[in-house]
A and B are shown apart, each in its own frame.
Chain A
Amino acid sequence: MSEKQSKRIISLLMENAPGALSRVVGLFSQRGYNIETLNVAPTDDASLSRLTLTTIGSEHNIEQITKNLNKLIDVVKLVDLTEGSHIERELMLVKVKATGALREEVKRCVDIFRGQIVDVTSTVYTIQIVGASDKLDAFVQAVSDAQILEVVRSGVSGIARGEKVLSL
């Protein structure tokens, strides 16, 4: 079935137990689905981890992915955040070579993107940017005149807007 592909943010609560993460990740490779980004950490309830992943697929793919994730015994609850209005954030740390005239320009760019320079040497800026993934992409694009030394991204995490919560 070849249908329109779209990007989805799937967020789930799973048992904070050994093996749980590998079951989730394994499912993707086993069934030929792809993971674009992945982000996982414990929650306020120490027995649960919150995992958020982004994937690209057709309506049919996404339905199969969520059904199969739900079948995993370790997965307690799951939501496709892209189905409703939601907040999407990703954190990026970028190390940029910044000397001479470029130093000012990079700084301006960081301000425009509401980022912060979190570490400085005479030749290098380390910049932190938070936002939706496409904003981070745009930043990387914007400073491409400078020499980018290293990029670290956290992967997307997300939460639904309004009263809706993903909890037990």
Chain B
Amino acid sequence: MEMLSGGDMLVRSLQDQGVEYVFGYPGGSALHIYDAIFRNKAVKHILVRHEQAATHAADGYARVTGKAGVVLVTSGPGATNAITGIATAYMDSTPMVVISGQVPSEKIGEDAFQETDMVGVSRPIVKHSFLVKDPAEIPEIVKKAFYIAETGRPGPVVIDVPKDVTSPAETFPYEYPKKVKIRSYFPAEKGHSGQIKKAIQLLLEARRPVIYSGGGVVLGDASKQLRELARKLNYPVTNTLMGLGAFPGTDKQFLGMLGMHGTFEANTAMHHADVILAIGARFDDRVTNTPEKFCPGAKIIHIDIDPASISKTIQADIPIVGSVQSVLNEMLELLAQSKESPDEQALADWWQQIEDWRGRHGLYTKNRFEETGQIKPQEVIQALHEVTGGDAIITSDVGQHQMFTAQYYHFNRPRQWVNSGGLGTMGFGLPAAMGAQFAERDQQVVCVTGEGSIQMCIQELSTCTQYHLPVKIICLNNQALGMVRQWQDLHYDGRYSESLYEESLPDFEKLMEAYGHVGIKVTERSELKSKLEECFAMKDRVVFMDIYVDQSEHVYPMQVAPNGAMRDMWLSKTERT
């Protein structure tokens, strides 16, 4: 058998696991591992400029490929810098394996230089973690880490590796396990057939059905099944922020996103539904509004791979624990055999009702753009959709620009939309775009950001230079922490406490130049489209579009909170449902 040091075993295990890229940053406790990286030719290491970006890049890579993203950081500050990205991945169930260096075993607990208890610090935001005690365990731990990260409800797994464990001084027999078994871990697969039958029965009896699908359909690769089911039944579909793309955004059966900034028709249809089929969605508080007022007349079927997500905030009438793909396949089979079909008249009436609501969608249409003469953020996203043919992979940061993108870039395929929904992490967009670009070298990758968010990981422009990542950055520059400002308008009488920068924004054009990229400033509506075209014509450059948009714009619709129901929304600054 091959004899390898702990450090070499670790990197070889990654190679044998099929890892293409490791996003990382070196430091003392990780140096044996970095030396092994140097020797290894198969696993490519991507040197970011901040460990937070390593985790977001790995996250972006994972969301686009479906494979675990891999991160390597040193102990202490390297590990703690990674925490925000691990929490981001945890909240959105991204498969990720984070390897952190640790001080030598005999120093653990002594407050050694750059020691933090990584397993302890990360505990509430990981699916599982390992502290390696013995080099011989490395291959099995790596195998287990990937297995746990990628199966069931995916999530981040931390492997904390004390420096002595990776020492080159000693070698061990190396073999990468083909399979692992964990006696306490059996991710759900097939759903309960009896429950699935009941669900079909209820679905077929529905008169005002809505299919509400979430990130689980993307993660569980069940977009095809979702589409088939929706077509077969001709039921309306709404997607959560995390589920966008799972059902085509331009399809006539699609009601748009639901929730806090969901469309009028999606939220209203949900409120009046008699049967809701929830698939891989978790009734997040940004979706349900006030739980006690949530969809009063609806019976709820809830399919999820995570039993703890079912009946957590909203009681399910028919819970089904299983992989969404497997459960939907079984539903499709049952439907194919069934002689019953939905009540055609009821469904036609329901669609008629929905079409009426659709007329009020609450989104901005062309004629509203003239109001101030300034560029509206919504029209930037519409123009972006046009110029990219609706086909780009879009990442975003967090704020108004994120919501505008979710509303106006009608995503047509899963894994096309990459955003931090659960944690809402500003700084996510650019590094996630890098990860996405590594995943899909030939795809156009675009990061939609705000002048606030971009500055939280702007150092990654340098990483883009090093690895020739031609991502396009569309900055909706409203010269404010816009989403904060919106809330201050709505709830604090316009007292803009610390949401303005007072003329301190950098000259982004010059900044881009300094990094070797291209910056384009747009202030006139008339040049929006042509400048965007110019941007996307520069195929192999990073281009930063600094687009000045109307600062006073709010994101609408916006659910009324607190104490509102799904259907209670502001449709503009003055119109309320």
Contacts and interface: CB of A to CB of B under 8 A. Distances in A.
B311 A63 contact: yes
Contact of A15 (B120, B124, B184): B184
B483 interface: no
A76 interface: yes
A64 B312 contact: yes
B308 A75 contact: no
B185 A73 contact: yes
A74 B184 contact: yes
What's the dominant secondary structure at chain B's contact region?
Answer: mixed
Contacts of A22: 120, 123
Interface string A18-62: 110011001000100000000000000000000000000000100
Nearest to A18: B131
Interface in B70-129: 119-120, 123-124, 127-129
Interface residues of A, number: 21
B129 A19 contact: yes
Contact of A71 (B131, B308, B312): B308
A70 interface: yes
A19 B131 contact: yes
Given A18-B131, A19-B131, A68-B308, A168 B123 contact: no
Given A22-B123, A23-B123, A76 B184 contact: yes
B307 A70 contact: yes
Interface in B129-150: 129, 131, 148
A67 interface: yes
A75 B184 contact: yes
Interface in B157-186: 182-185
Interface string A78-89: 000000000000
Contacts of A71: 306-308
A19 B185 CA distance: 17
Contact of A64 (B120, B184, B185, B308): B308
B348 to A, nearest CB: 37
Nearest to B133: A18
Nearest to A63: B311
A30 to B, nearest CB: 5
Interface size class of B (residues with CB under 8 A): 10 to 19
A132 to B, nearest CB: 30
Interface string B497-531: 00000000000000000000000000000000000
A30 B87 CA distance: 14
B184 A73 contact: yes
Contacts of B129: 19
A67 B308 contact: yes
A168 B183 CA distance: 9
Contacts of B119: 19
Nearest to B148: A73
B495 to A, nearest CB: 32
Contacts of B306: 71
Interface-central residue, B182, B184, B311, B312, by most chain A CB under 10 Å:
B184
A86 to B, nearest CB: 23
A73 B128 contact: yes
B120 to A, nearest CB: 7
B463 to A, nearest CB: 33
Interface in A80-126: none
A60 B129 CA distance: 28
A66 to B, nearest CB: 9
B127 A73 contact: yes
A70 B310 CA distance: 14
A22 B128 CA distance: 12
Nearest to A26: B123
Interface in B306-364: 306-308, 311-312
A26 B308 contact: no
Contacts of A68: 308
Q: Which 9 A-B pairs have the closest CB atoms?
A: A67-B308, A76-B184, A73-B128, A30-B124, A67-B307, A68-B308, A26-B123, A73-B185, A71-B308
Given A67-B308, A73-B184, A74-B184, 11 more contacts: A14-B184, A19-B119, A19-B129, A22-B120, A60-B311, A64-B312, A67-B307, A71-B307, A73-B128, A75-B184, A76-B183
27 contacts: A15-B184, A18-B131, A19-B119, A19-B129, A19-B131, A22-B120, A22-B123, A26-B123, A26-B124, A60-B311, A63-B311, A64-B308, A64-B312, A67-B307, A67-B308, A70-B307, A71-B306, A71-B307, A71-B308, A73-B128, A73-B148, A73-B182, A73-B184, A74-B184, A76-B183, A76-B184, A77-B184
Interface of B: 119-120, 123-124, 127-129, 131, 148, 182-185, 306-308, 311-312
Interface of A: 14-15, 18-19, 22-23, 26, 30, 60, 63-64, 67-68, 70-71, 73-77, 168
